[in-house]
Amino acid sequence: MIRLENISKQYDLGGTTVDALKDVSLEINRGDYAAIMGPSGSGKSTMMHILGILDSATGGKYFLEDYDITALPDKEQARIRNKHFGFIFQSFNLFPELSAIENVMLPMSYAGIPYKTRKDKAVDLLQEVGLGHRMTHLPTMLSGGEQQRVAIARSLSNDPDLILADEPTGNLPSDKGEEIMEILESLNKRGVTVVMVTHNPAQGRRAGYVIELRDGMLIPGSPNLEAQNV
Amino acid sequence: MFKEPVKIILRRFRDRTLESGLLIIAVALGIGAFAAGLSLIMNTMEFSNQIMSSPEYRELVISTRSEASEMENPVEEKLVQENAVLTAADLEAANLAPGVEWAYVQNNSRLHLITADTGNMRPPEDMSPPGGDNAGGGEPRADDRQGIQISEEELAEMEADSSIIIAEFDEISGYEVTSQFFNSWDITASSGSLISEADITGTENVIVLGSELAALLAGESMEADELLGKKLLSREGYQTIIGIMNPVSEGFDQEYFSPYKDETGGFSGFRRRFMDTQLRFAVEDPEDLDSTAVLLSDWFESQLGEDQVVISNPRAEAEQLVSRNTGISLLILFLSAAGFFIALVNVSNIMMSRVLRMKKNVGILMALGASKNSIRKLFLTEALVLAVSGGIAGALLAIPLSGYMETAAGIEAGSWLYITIGAVLAGGLTTLFGLIPSRQFMKIDPAQAMRSAS
Ligand SMILES: Nc1ncnc2c1ncn2[C@@H]1O[C@H](COP(=O)(O)OP(=O)(O)OP(=O)(O)O)[C@@H](O)[C@H]1O
Ligand SMILES: [Mg+2]
């Protein structure tokens, strides 16, 4: 589904450059459940951003379904993010001005879905994550776990092929985190590809495989690299 | 129903009441000042063009010096008056000045009508003293009116006669004119004829009626053009109505016009003594006014002696007034534009801080599928909300403001057109300035936007 070839990412800090990713090549297949792990500052978030076309690599190539999308026009990038990717963030990133249901409806408005349809879909999704009774609440009126479940419902609104979750349980107590993990696992069972950054080794073990980063480089012997031979 | 991203913008606007309110007030004041200033200058210029194109401002008015001086010094005036008397014959001065298109006499005049009520009464005693009480030229004096006394029986007979018009009001004002008056003002007759040379040399009393006066005299029982050929009863005698004018814009519609005669019938010598005749010379091209004035001045000097006539140039006076008004209006426009610009810079600043607070949200919106184009549209919505609400409030502010300024500048009710144009123009500029801060998002990646605080 996704193939990265020799991806590197440098940040230019006025004189000094930071190599956030160095020559990373990997492949993620449809239906995979991958965990990205590594110490702080090792490039996990950078990797997620590049996978999600939220940032552009300074070197290398990105193939999506064998199409080279390394340098797509902005409008095309936006369309792919909207229709094919779902994002879940550590800090939830809900819009405080919008109610739970409006937050879930938002990505559908960019897909051009009519009001009634996106509202029905949002109701279904919120019920699915157990928030049928919180639809019109503003995010500030919801607990962290509830907010993250709204964010998951939002990420699912356009039926994405790939969920990208950067430390989705990082801001949650472990029991609430467990709820999130269960939702992600059930999504993966339904065939959605899930890539998740985590610091939690237990969560890493529950994934299909772990991509390990250190200083912006993939650790050789990482299971993914043995399985694929890029 | 608004789409969700637009709701974010609108609710942010609503939730920050103080900031949004101040923004709108700043914009409204700026737009209001600018629109009022623009409206003032445009209406000033339009009004100036309008009055400058009036025939009145293509004329030189010649009157005897006595008239100008008599108010201050009546004793001296008598001496002067003996020398200088203007008559229609002096209109031939026009032959010497090639720029002159039309030359005519136009004197103020008045008719005292006999009504069914006042017919048997004596004419009023309180006639104004000789010498004229207004600057526009002499009016017939008491001597002129002593002619007609009518008994009740005679009046009843006249009322029965359908060829005689007895008015319901006892005075009408108008002008004694020579025929080129009508050419100069481009006046045409709607029925009957205008005053011709024959009427001026003839002995019959004839008058031409302005359209509104004709309607008033005809009353409800008659069509106005049925007045033609009938005789209007006045103390000065019967006035045969020979024509009715088409409406003209210059305030002549309520007046009558009678032929100017140097010697009023039967009272020879009267005009010579008491009436000041004003001669008017209309040029085709206002550029010729000054040179024509010199030529006319020479001619009258050779005819009447030095310093006997005053040549006034209404256009020169009006131009002075117009240039003063235009100067003041320009200054006001400059000040209001400066105020508006300062408001715009402030708006841009406040918008910048709003946009910075939105930065992380912009990153999230992009992650969820917003293209840069749709982000731009979103901020355009915000700028438009500001510009439109500020523009409407500003226009509402500008209407009384410019109305007041225009009254002060002596301009007739200016149109709202320029306020609207000004508000739309200023609203457009506000939108542009409001958009400047969001341009930063056109260059950055979503990841970069999302990483920002807030
Ligand atoms: N915008 C930036 N400008 C400069 N350097 C950056 C920027 N973003 C990230 N970096 C650097 O790139 C490296 C990788 O950062 P990244 O956020 O990917 O790490 P991470 O693995 O997600 O860490 P954490 O576990 O703390 O989230 C770090 O050294 C970081 O300082
Ligand atoms: Mg990170």
**B16 interaction partners in chain A (CB closer than 8 Å):** none
When mean pLDDT is compared across A214-228, B173-187, B277-291, B321-335, the lowest value belongs to A214-228
Percentage with pLDDT > 70 across chain B: 84
Q: Edge-to-edge strand order for the sheet containing A2-13?
A: A16-28, A2-13, A59-64, A67-68
Does A206 fall in a domain? yes
Q: How confident is the model at residue B53 (pLDDT cuts 50, 70, 90)?
A: confident
Examine the pLDDT at B313 and tell me if it is beyond 60: yes
Question: What's the structural domain count of chain A?
Answer: 1
Q: Which helix (DSSP H) or strand (DSSP E) does residue B376 occupy?
A: helix B372-408
Facing residue for A109 by CB, picked from B4, B371, B446: B4
> How far apart (Å, rounded) are the C-alpha atoms in residues A100 and B423?
40
**Residue range of the domain that includes A169:** 30-48+73-218
Does A162 fall in a domain? yes
**A74 interaction partners in chain B (CB closer than 8 Å):** 371-373
Does A18 fall in a domain? no
Question: What does the pLDDT average to over B407-416?
Answer: 72
Minimal Cα–Cα distance from B3 to chain A, Å?
6
Mean pLDDT rounded to a whole number for chain A = 92
Which ligand lies nearest to the CA atom of residue A47 in the structure? Answer: 1
Facing residue for B4 by CB, picked from A74, A78, A102: A102
**A106 interaction partners in chain B (CB closer than 8 Å):** 4-5, 365, 368
Minimal Cα–Cα distance from B382 to chain A, Å?
15
Percentage with pLDDT > 90 across chain B: 29
Examine the pLDDT at A55 and tell me if it is beyond 50: yes
pLDDT value, residue B83? 56
Question: What does the pLDDT average to over B61-69?
Answer: 69
> How far apart (Å, rounded) are the C-alpha atoms in residues B57 and B314?
6
**Any chain B CB within 8 A of the CB of A115?**
yes
> How far apart (Å, rounded) are the C-alpha atoms in residues A139 and A230?
43
Mean pLDDT rounded to a whole number for chain B = 82
Does A224 fall in a domain? no
* Cα B382 to Cα A138, A228, B323, B449, distances in angstroms: 22, 50, 42, 19
CATH number at A147 reads 3.40.50.300
CA of residue B425 to ligand 1 center, whole Å: 47
pLDDT value, residue B413? 59
Does A36 fall in a domain? yes
> Are B373 and A102 within 8 A, CB to CB?
no
Question: Looking up tokens 């001496």, which residue turns up?
Answer: B79
pLDDT value, residue B136? 41
Does A165 fall in a domain? yes
Instruction: Mark the residues whose beta carbon lies below 5 A from ion ligand 2.
Output: A 45
- Summarize pLDDT for A73-132 with one digit per residue, the tens: 999 999 999 999 999 999 999 999 999 999 999 999 999 999 999 999 999 999 999 999
DSSP codes joined into one string, A82-141 = HHHEEEE-TT----TTS-HHHHHHHHHHHTT--HHHHHHHHHHHHHHTT-TT-TT--GGG
Does A107 fall in a domain? yes
Q: Which helix (DSSP H) or strand (DSSP E) does residue B239 occupy?
A: strand B237-245
- Summarize pLDDT for B85-102 with one digit per residue, the tens: 788 888 888 888 888 899
Q: Tally the C-alpha atoms within 13 A of residue B315's C-alpha that lie toward its C-beta.
A: 21
Q: Which helix (DSSP H) or strand (DSSP E) does residue B4 occupy?
A: helix B4-15
CA of residue A197 to ligand 2 center, whole Å: 8
- Summarize pLDDT for B21-50 with one digit per residue, the tens: 999 999 999 999 999 999 889 888 888 888
Q: How confident is the model at residue B156 (pLDDT cuts 50, 70, 90)?
A: confident
Does A182 fall in a domain? yes
**Any chain B CB within 8 A of the CB of A176?**
no
Q: How confident is the model at residue B202 (pLDDT cuts 50, 70, 90)?
A: confident
